[in-house]
Amino acid sequence: MDAAWIMLFAVLAPLATGLLTLLLPRESITPRVLLAALGPLVAFGLLWVGSTQIYEAAAVHVAGHGGHAEVHHASGASAYAAIPLPTSGVIPWMTDLNLDLAFNADGLSIFFSLLVSGIGLMIVLYARGYFGPDKDSLFRFYPTLGFFMTAMLGIVVSDYTLQMLLFWEMTSISSFLLIGWDRYDKKAVKLAMQAFFTTGLGGMGLFGGILLLGVTTDIWRWSELTAQIGQIDLADPWVIGAFLLIFIGAATKSAQWPFHYWLPGAMAAPTPVSAFLHSATMVKAGVFLAGRIMPAMSEITLFPWLLIGLGAITMLLGGVIAIQQHDLKRIFAYTTVSQLGLLMAMYGLGAITYPHVGNDGITHLLPAIDLDLTQIANHAFYKAPLFIAAGAIGHFLSRDITRLTGAFYKFPATCLVLLLAGYGLAAGPGTISFQAKELFLYAIYHATEVSAWFWLLMLMTIVTAVCNVAIFVRLATTLLGLPGGMGAFAVPDHDDHHHAHPPEGGLWGSLIWLPGLLLVIPQYVGGLFPGLWNSVFMSGERFAFYESFAQGVPSVWYLVAHPGVPLYCSLAAIIGGVIVGFLPHLRRAVVDVHDTIYPASYWLAVTGGGRVFRMVQTGRLRQYMLIVLFTFLAMFAGAVVNDTRMIEVALVALGDLSAWFEYWPGLLMGMLVCGSALCIPATEIRVVRILLLGACGFAVVGIYLIYRAPDLALTQLMFEIISVLLFVVVLRLLPRDQPQSHAGRPMRIAVSVAVGLVMGWMTLLAATADRPIDDSALLGTVFAQNSYYGDPNSALLSERGGGGSNIVNVILVDFRGWDTLGEVVVLAIAALGVWSLLPSRRKVPTPA
């Protein structure tokens, strides 16, 4: 089977099985769990198969082109330009809209998709442990989770930009459903709205960016972007704007400052969702996107600084707020914010190049980025277990860290997971996080060669690491009941989502901590046996630039044996973290000021919007008319300013009318029209006004007759009769006319006169302007030629005519019959409106 179809099925598998679980009876829980688990499992397998196929095909292709994937490293100039993005075949969908289905399989995509489906499988199992045998929750949970998984898988493997946007918005919707899981909790629903609006805003930015990029550079596929990065004019402000908009999408999705507030707010979701959201989905979508546009960003000087600056602020802020929280989920949420900032800064660093003398004695320009997948994966492998264990402990005891003193001795399994994962959070030696943090510090250290400002980034990273270590120290001392734990200094925290259900025994009961344990194992495998880690992730790594690390993640021993500034920084962070962890300071639960951003903007939008609305929507027809006419005048003024020839042409056309008296019948009728129109405001009596309006119409009929348009004249005549009849009837229904104030009358007169003059001007231009096309190609000429018999020479290439000598009617019912059909339908709809608004008042004649 074609690889593209395999990938498509893989993406849709979680959603499909999620929906299939709905068919099972509510009571059958075990089949439901197994069916739901089948989705990510199938996805994992299909992605493996599909991506291998794509990758092999791409490798053959690259080999045919001289294998430039290997050459790019040594080429020196642009380290990214030649990295090919292997893409599978295209499944045609909406080709005209630049939206087909195609799937990528480079390291970033495969890594993310396997991460999503793998952790997704664990989450499915954990949900069984978390919700327990609550059949209603599970019934509702699995389809939504499947939707979320499909959306996330779609993002990472999509090749077409619009295709990715589609899935991107799907994650917003599904996360909204999941965060607002507890429908009866108003706070949760509000927080879901907050997350939806914030990430939706970014989605709009991404949409705009994709469209702008597509329109200016005609790039609608990520693979095209990577392949043609050299051909794009990256100095074009529109292109820069496009990338800026795309970056806004990435920044809101991955909770960068100042948009990070939605992520701790998303804690209202059930813990399985939090674990999934923080480790593999949603927030990582932004990081993924940053990685996708990486090659382009490195060429624009603004971007690295933007990414690094924003990422650094987010990183520091997340860390500092995290240690001052009491709810476990909030603590971990802010560490996620912090880690996301780090990842953003990492991709920013990737655009900073520094000179490096290689083993061959040649100086290369290398980007200060390394092993990006390791950076992302290590976070997933401690954050998901942390959340899983936090949710479990919240079930058994409480999620408030001040109430967990000595919890280890009551629930050893769950707390063990918590501690193991917490050690990963602290980036202690022995976990892959340690090496990852070390690599990041190396990247910063190399970047300091370019600018001294990076020492500030180094400092911020150390402070963040201190916070992470301190969190682990407090967690460990609290859980183990050692001195220095959070219990002794505890300040009661009321933000407690404790909802206990009796612990289950057996396999199903263990599912509340077992997935966490399974997920935390790679942390230690990677840390202790980096060779094993490298054998999995190295094939996908795009940015393995340091010669010392070119073989993959180094071992702890290697790092210790080759001490340098980064190692000392790590050491300083660990020592500082232990000290801060035992200090009695910084233990209050602080409120993040950014939490007010959304409520404030919401208030502003609702209240301010209401005020503007009441200003504009007064309910007075006269004012609406004024707005419409003013807009019209403004647009016309703009057109005139834009094209001053309009004035000259009109003056010339007026000058040509020196023999105006030859047109006296038309002029007379026109004067009649104007005269009766001018009389209308002079009288207050409605019937007279209606009759004057009729007089206008009849004078127009006269004009039509003079210029030999009998059809128009007839139509206008009948229309005038009917409308006068209708008006007379309606008039009698209206209430008595109230004397009205004459305020603002001069302005209305001025506007009316101006609009009249402009209309005349436009008519003059339309009637006298030079046509850019030949007379024989005019629609009027073509219609006239084809009215009765088809003209073989006509532009319409019609082999037959309309069969009628009355052109107007032939146009109406034949040439433009489509229009007429539409008009007739509109008329019928209007009549339906009248019939429903004015119910019949006829008394049904009672049979005598």
Partner 1 sequence: MSTIILRISMSLILPIGLVFALYMAFKGHNEPGGGFIGGLMAAATLAIFRMSSGAAELDKLLPCHPRVLVSLGLSIALATAVAPLFVGEGLLRSYLWDLNLPFGESLHIASAMFFDVGVFLVVVGICVGMISRFSEELEL
Q: What number of residues does the chain have?
A: 848
User: 218, 174 in Cβ contact below 8 A?
Assistant: no
Reduced to 3 states (helix: H, G, I; strand: E, B; else coil), residue 221 is strand
Stretch that binds partner 1, among 111-119, 274-282, 613-621, 812-820 (CB under 8 A): 812-820
d(CA 686, CA 693): 10
Contact between 495 and partner 1 by CB under 8 A: the answer reads: no
Q: Which residues of 190-204 are buried (b: 16+ CB within 10 A; e: fewer)?
A: bbbbbbbbbbbbbbe
Cα 741 to chain centroid, rounded: 51
Contact between 54 and partner 1 by CB under 8 A: the answer reads: no
Contact between 703 and partner 1 by CB under 8 A: the answer reads: no
Of 649 and 728, CB closest to partner 1: 728
Of 354 and 788, CB closest to partner 1: 788
User: 548, 554 in Cβ contact below 8 A?
Assistant: yes
Question: Within 10 A of 260 (CB to CB), how many other CB atoms are there?
Answer: 30
Contact between 687 and partner 1 by CB under 8 A: the answer reads: no
Reduced to 3 states (helix: H, G, I; strand: E, B; else coil), residue 846 is coil
DSSP per residue, 427-480: T-TTSHHHHHHHHHHHHHHHHTTT-TTHHHHHHHHHHHHHHHHHHHHHHHHHHH
Contact between 555 and partner 1 by CB under 8 A: the answer reads: no
Stretch that binds partner 1, among 94-102, 516-524, 664-672, 725-733 (CB under 8 A): 725-733
Of 493 and 791, CB closest to partner 1: 791
Of 309 and 790, CB closest to partner 1: 790
In the complex, minimum distance from the CB of residue 670 to partner 1, in angstroms, rounded to a whole number: 23
Stretch that binds partner 1, among 321-329, 375-383, 506-514, 716-724 (CB under 8 A): 716-724
Contact between 806 and partner 1 by CB under 8 A: the answer reads: yes
Reduced to 3 states (helix: H, G, I; strand: E, B; else coil), residue 369 is coil
Of 2 and 819, CB closest to partner 1: 819
Of 483 and 845, CB closest to partner 1: 845
DSSP per residue, 40-75: HHHHHHHHHHHHHHHHHHHHHHHHHTT-HHHHHHHH
DSSP per residue, 252-263: HHTT-TTSTTHH
Under 8 Å CB-to-CB from 626, ≥6 apart: which residues?
748, 751
Exactly one of 452, 818, 846, 847 binds partner 1 (CB under 8 A); that residue is 818
Contact between 846 and partner 1 by CB under 8 A: the answer reads: no
Stretch that binds partner 1, among 71-79, 435-443, 593-601, 709-717 (CB under 8 A): 709-717
SS3 string, 280-342, reads CCCHHHHHHHHHHCHHHHCCCCHHHHHHHHHHHHHHHHHHHHHCCCCEHHHHHHHHHHHHHHH
Cα 681 to chain centroid, rounded: 53
**Binding pattern to partner 1, positions 405-434, x when CB under 8 A?**
------------------------------
Stretch that binds partner 1, among 5-13, 120-128, 565-573, 818-826 (CB under 8 A): 818-826
Angle between helices 565-582 and 454-480 (to 10 degrees): 40
Contact between 797 and partner 1 by CB under 8 A: the answer reads: no
d(CA 745, CA 741): 9
In the complex, minimum distance from the CB of residue 92 to partner 1, in angstroms, rounded to a whole number: 25
Reduced to 3 states (helix: H, G, I; strand: E, B; else coil), residue 758 is helix
Contact between 834 and partner 1 by CB under 8 A: the answer reads: yes
Contact between 817 and partner 1 by CB under 8 A: the answer reads: yes
Contact between 814 and partner 1 by CB under 8 A: the answer reads: yes
Contact between 824 and partner 1 by CB under 8 A: the answer reads: yes
Contact between 827 and partner 1 by CB under 8 A: the answer reads: yes
d(CA 51, CA 115): 14
In the complex, minimum distance from the CB of residue 784 to partner 1, in angstroms, rounded to a whole number: 14
Of 539 and 806, CB closest to partner 1: 806
Of 603 and 835, CB closest to partner 1: 835
Contact between 842 and partner 1 by CB under 8 A: the answer reads: yes
Of 494 and 843, CB closest to partner 1: 843
| Count of residues touching partner 1 (by CB under 8 A) | 43
Contact between 730 and partner 1 by CB under 8 A: the answer reads: yes
Sort strands 363-367 and 91-94 into parallel, antiparallel or unpaired.
unpaired
Contact between 719 and partner 1 by CB under 8 A: the answer reads: yes
Contact between 235 and partner 1 by CB under 8 A: the answer reads: no
* 190 token code pair: 């509000």
In the complex, minimum distance from the CB of residue 707 to partner 1, in angstroms, rounded to a whole number: 14
Vertex 684, ends 682 and 686: CA angle to 5°?
115
Exactly one of 16, 204, 714, 754 binds partner 1 (CB under 8 A); that residue is 714
Exactly one of 840, 844, 847, 848 binds partner 1 (CB under 8 A); that residue is 840
Exactly one of 682, 767, 838, 844 binds partner 1 (CB under 8 A); that residue is 838
Exactly one of 729, 767, 773, 848 binds partner 1 (CB under 8 A); that residue is 729
DSSP per residue, 80-125: TTT----B---EEEEGGGTEEE-BB-SHHHHHHHHHHHHHHHHHHH
User: 275, 388 in Cβ contact below 8 A?
Assistant: yes
Stretch that binds partner 1, among 386-394, 475-483, 542-550, 712-720 (CB under 8 A): 712-720
Angle between helices 432-447 and 328-349 (to 10 degrees): 40
Of 31 and 803, CB closest to partner 1: 803
Contact between 802 and partner 1 by CB under 8 A: the answer reads: yes
Exactly one of 564, 681, 710, 760 binds partner 1 (CB under 8 A); that residue is 710
Exactly one of 52, 555, 601, 715 binds partner 1 (CB under 8 A); that residue is 715
Contact between 794 and partner 1 by CB under 8 A: the answer reads: no
d(CA 90, CA 87): 9
Of 377 and 807, CB closest to partner 1: 807
In the complex, minimum distance from the CB of residue 202 to partner 1, in angstroms, rounded to a whole number: 43
d(CA 798, CA 791): 7
Residues forming contacts to partner 1 in the complex (CB under 8 A) are 710-711, 714-715, 718-719, 721-722, 725-726, 729-730, 732-733, 800, 802-806, 808-810, 812-814, 817-818, 820-821, 824-825, 827-828, 830-832, 834-835, 838, 840-842
